[in-house]
Structure 1
């Protein structure tokens, strides 16, 4: 450590008992760029080092003044001895980006020893902690607000471990002003809630491999974007073998991989730049990771990813491999409906039955519908009646098996619904599925060329 926190401040100590007593030195408060506090008013910072007992008394004083700390944008307690962090806080207060920040000397050890007020954000320096993960976990048990950790380690694995322990974010020292502002600013929960209400979300899961779940995903998304004019996101969660982008003659890019590797960067703007667009309304997020790469869906990235996607799109279609659905059922919990795609085989019947039970247990508010693809060899398939008896329910949609049409669509890089004639019965069934998702929303009127 570099000694006590001396950010070369031009403010004064927060109101409180005389600095010569044990009751209050070490707190610097700001009500904005011109208020008393960090570079906010006129006066001088304390010159005397502050021992641990005084640090704890500072925190007790902060708790006594907890109403001052709860309710505005960017409010926080900051525990640090690092001058670079103090200077960064001072700069953003000078700029008017945050207000009423309270800085206390000492790192996370001081935060653990101090009675914690219900501050919306607590920023702790973990640089001197011998076990920062355990310390963050302990702090998360005694504070109700968000915890933002700061330290010198620049490592993704360390970041993920801290997030799992209870931190909301981790910033590498020295933080940039923008990073610090983002960390200290409360999330806009209300905006996200409104976006959630407006966004239609459907997850498409193949009960077995190769039954056509990607074909269903691509065509439903295409229909929502083109026939209903909805800004639609198609998310391919198969990181190694996903074919949603390929089905539309597009390169998937690294958008999904970047989002999962850097969950702290996920926001609507980041998502918009990470996706590839098929048209003005249809956007694809996917990946094509090297087979030697042990890429997997990052659980800590799910919440920010879903929030950013909901904020960007009116409808979302997730092409979800079965293993992802089982490992991360929260994704299906976000969906209004889950489409289980299967064939009329005995194995398909078994897997549909198991997946139906799984969705019912983990996603009780999510509607489950069965989409069956007709058999290529009817001699080895179950009848629809026997299949429905086995799954203890009905098949909601049956898509005729048409290998020629599927090959033409794949080779042309087009959705079946975009092909001449709309794929006849196959396209009609896929259109019916999409229509059911949007309910009574009116389709976009397509004018003939002579009416333009």
Structure 2
């Protein structure tokens, strides 16, 4: 064996030994939540590391995609598709050119997307510049599995970090206005349109319909979480969820009348906390009621959507709810309004302009009455976009999904985690 071969063999063995020792760092790491990760690898070494990460038990809930290529490939891919929760990007660009190379990706990156750069230059000035410009982490090659897993954990598992997920609460101004149907279709739309892991929580324990709408019959659900808060954590929650589609999970209501469902004001807060740590988006289907616990849920949700039909009782109730929520949430934006079942035959209606004028809000969507479309979807246990994806109503639900998640049209350039780079243009 030559001296060069001997040195290479020793270096390789030393690297594997160091990585084996560092694997102990992962033993106490909590499982990563339901997030989407896309890794762009310019080297076979990083691709092998990412494949090892994909097979780790702590990544069981992560949707991971690995692509050969660098910054140009990422910018090209996301110019016509939503960005995931995390992009891991390998680049050989020099410190002088790296920021300019990242600019095209910054132009198409969603605001909530995190970015980890894997580079080849151990430069503290470059590191500080990247962090200043919105990069979550910069790792220098050669990297090992603990480096990648540790970076993801620091972003999404760190107990001191901001909650991962946003909660969107839907409530009807009156019973029977279709707020649950709207909530379920929006949850399905968010999960499908953006490939975002989404949890739909049906908070109407006695009468919830999410299990019917998705043709599910789960043995457990939200009742077990609410009535046993001392057991509630991400692992316990995972056992209670039912998979509805590739990116949508359901926390179903029991829909039984075998007991009374009386709750204290903050009974659902532990559930909401765990849901926010478990997925990027949680849709809360809140029953039409006004109690301590519903007020608490609506107060703490990131977004509130009120569904109403254009009649006098709905107008009164919507006005009262908006006034109350404005006081309860003085530092948040006004709840969204959706007008549903508009144009029902033989039913006197208040015009949209007359309905919205006293509310001082404009509806984000007007959904026409279509008993055939909605009836077929309900009876088949499917969503509107599955029954008739080309219908105007399906497009309306797509628009609602964009608005309540803070996203804009997919093909329009948008600011993202690389916000600072845009300021340099």
Partner of 2:367: 399
Partner of 2:95: none
Query: Is 2:225 the counterpart of 1:259?
Result: yes
Q: Give the counterpart of 1:307 among 257, 262, 273.
A: 273
Query: Is 2:234 the counterpart of 1:268?
Result: yes
Q: How far apart, in 1, do the equivalents of 2:161 and 2:290 lie?
A: 27
Query: Is 2:165 the counterpart of 1:199?
Result: yes
Q: Give the counterpart of 1:215 among 173, 176, 181.
A: 181
1:114-125 matches, within 5 Å, as none
Q: Give the counterpart of 1:284 among 250, 253, 257.
A: 250
Q: How far apart, in 2, do the equivalents of 1:310 and 1:285 lie?
A: 13
Query: Is 2:195 the counterpart of 1:229?
Result: yes
Using the size of structure 2 for normalisation, the TM-score is: 0.56
Q: Would the alpha carbon gap of residues 306 and 383 (structure 1) be closer, same or farther in structure 2, given more than 3 Å must change?
A: same
SS at match of 2:356: helix
**Following TM superposition, by how much is the alpha carbon of 1:382 offset from its aligned partner in structure 2, in angstroms?**
0.6
Uncovered stretches (5+) of structure 2, i.e. residues with no partner: 1-155, 412-425
Query: Is 2:349 the counterpart of 1:381?
Result: yes
Partner of 1:412: 380
Q: Would the alpha carbon gap of residues 301 and 386 (structure 1) be closer, same or farther in structure 2, given more than 3 Å must change?
A: closer
Partner of 1:427: 394
Using the size of structure 1 for normalisation, the TM-score is: 0.53
- Whether the aligned pair in 1 keeps the contact of 2:232 and 2:271 (CA below 8 Å) is yes
1:319-338 matches, within 5 Å, as 319-323=285-289, 327-338=293-304
- Whether the aligned pair in 1 keeps the contact of 2:207 and 2:256 (CA below 8 Å) is no
Higher relative contact order (CA 8 A, sep 6+): 2
- Whether the aligned pair in 2 keeps the contact of 1:333 and 1:366 (CA below 8 Å) is no
**Following TM superposition, by how much is the alpha carbon of 1:390 offset from its aligned partner in structure 2, in angstroms?**
3.2
Q: Give the counterpart of 1:436 among 403, 414, 421.
A: 403
1:45-194 matches, within 5 Å, as 191-192=158-159, 194=161
Map Cα deviations across residues 78-125 of structure 1 (whole Å, 9 max, x no partner). Answer: xxxxxxxxxxxxxxxxxxxxxxxxxxxxxxxxxxxxxxxxxxxxxxxx
- Whether the aligned pair in 2 keeps the contact of 1:232 and 1:282 (CA below 8 Å) is yes
Q: Give the counterpart of 1:242 among 181, 185, 208.
A: 208
Partner of 2:133: none
Q: Which has the larger radius of gyration?
A: 1
Q: How far apart, in 2, do the equivalents of 1:193 and 1:416 lie?
A: 39
Uncovered stretches (5+) of structure 1, i.e. residues with no partner: 1-188, 445-452
Partner of 1:32: none
Map Cα deviations across residues 105-154 of structure 1 (whole Å, 9 max, x no partner). Answer: xxxxxxxxxxxxxxxxxxxxxxxxxxxxxxxxxxxxxxxxxxxxxxxxxx
SS at match of 2:320: helix
- Whether the aligned pair in 1 keeps the contact of 2:269 and 2:297 (CA below 8 Å) is no
Query: Is 2:291 the counterpart of 1:346?
Result: no
